[in-house]
Structure 1
Amino acid sequence: MAAKSDFTLPLIISAGIHIGVLVILIMGVDVSEKPKPQPQMSAPAMKAVVVDQKLVAQHVEKLKAEKRETARKEKARQDELERQATEARQQREREQAQIKTLERERKQKEVETKNALAAAKAAQLKQKQENEKAQQAEAERKQKDKERKASEEAAKKAEAKRKQEEAVAKKAADERKRKAEAERKRKEEADRKRKAEERERQLQEQMMQDALAAEQTALSQTRNRQVMSEVQRYTSMIRATIQRNLVVDESMRGKSCRVFIRLANDGFVTGTKILSGDSVVCRATKAAINKAGRLPVSSEPDVYNKLKEINLTVQPEFN
């Protein structure tokens, strides 16, 4: 626009000068008087007028050319501005498209990160379960080893005692042979031998009773471990049943509820009580228990007795 103004001002000034000259010429003519015969203009004067008109025409053409050039330059400038605006708009569109692409990539990375975290959590849980199983197996092995050592120790003691008694009996027999005592002493020796045999019999009976008691204790401990294993298994089944009926949402993530459950011998839920935990999770847990109605229980009385009233912690699971 500044370039156009620079050319327009000289054009206006030049046009004004020429118009002013024409006005002066017109005003110089006295129109009130009758036309007088004008003297014939000389040839040089006519030539000067013609030359001036040509100069004016040339100047006008020059001004028109300058105006056209100014208009051309202005159009070129406008075209350049439009081209720059188009490039800027296209650049802005490309940037917006790139921003959208980066946003999609960011969201995709967030999804991948969440999936990786979930996989890592599942792997940690699996490893923890395997460690717990290994620890339980190691504890059982140590218990069996302890029982075996105790049994071997008892057998060694019994063997040592038996050998000691055999040595005593042998010494008594040798003593009988050496002294060749009278019939009374032989009877006494017989009586002593009988008593020794009675003690041996009693000792053997005691050893048998001890062995039976140890075996009964081992069987009882084995049964207790079996019962606890079954309790843990049915507790996991009860928790899984509740989880299947549990309606979850994102507000429950990382929260839990501890609940008391009373069960009939057929697994029917006869009573529930919220002990502690998040109120939303607890409402969902109680609804899941009521929806299930019946939970897994064992038909074995000693297992059921440990399951009929249980305290259970429920934590929503998310895929």
Structure 2
Amino acid sequence: MIISAGIHIGMLIIIALGMDFSDKPKPQPQVRALAMKAVVVDQKLVAQHVERLKAEKREVARKEKARQDDLERRATEARQQREREQAQIKKLEIERKQKEIETKNALAAAKAAQLKLKQEKEKALQAEEFRKQKEKERQASEEAAKKAEAKLKQEEAAAKKAADERKRKAEADRKRKEDAERKRKAEERERQLQEQMMQDALAEEQAALSQTRNRQVMSEVQRYTSMIRATIQRHLLVDESMRGKTCRVFIRLANDGFVTGTKILSGDSAVCHATQAAINKAGRLPVSSEPNVYNELKEINLTVQPEFN
């Protein structure tokens, strides 16, 4: 309405300015035509102006709506941004708590692992000590076995040497025996002749001395038994394991003391083995030339016990 009033007022002013107030009268038809023309032009301008004002109003409304839409969009974006930030914060908080739990669990696991590692190290050290101890025991056992093996080899070598020596001696003794047997037979024949000649003369004396002789024979048997045992002891190879142990052996002797046979009766195997080796090494044992004494000694059971200095 204000715009319309302003337009009409402008039109009236234009009409007034177009009027001639001089005394000279003007033709009326021309004035009316001009007025009508001015009204038409004015209505057209008013229409254009109104249309321009409507367009401006629509533009203002459009801009306002655009501004409102932009504000609403920004508000929505801001709200969504806040929601995203809150969700991110909540997520970060959850992750932080989870990391704290994981850190605590990791620390607990690390402590448990350290404790387990320490226990395993202690077990490993104990196992290593046990292994070293067993290794020492094994080495000691192997060393003892080597020494025993070496000693056994020495004994076997000594026994072989003694056997070889015995064979050599046996051959020499065989020859010597053959010579001695021929000599003995000759001497025996001579002795028999002498004994035959003396037999009658000594008969009474023999009867008188019988008891005394028997005592002498037994004394000689004991003496020669001790001598036989001493001879075996001299050739006996002993070690500490034989202490307090014995061996009982059967020995058969020739009348010159040569060992013709042996047999282990009982006793410790090591002592018996050493006793057998000592007898073989000796080859010949002390015997009496007296027949009565020899008869008591030609087959004897002897107990041998190693002696230690």
Select the structure of larger CA radius of gyration: 2
TM-score, normalised with respect to structure 1: 0.38
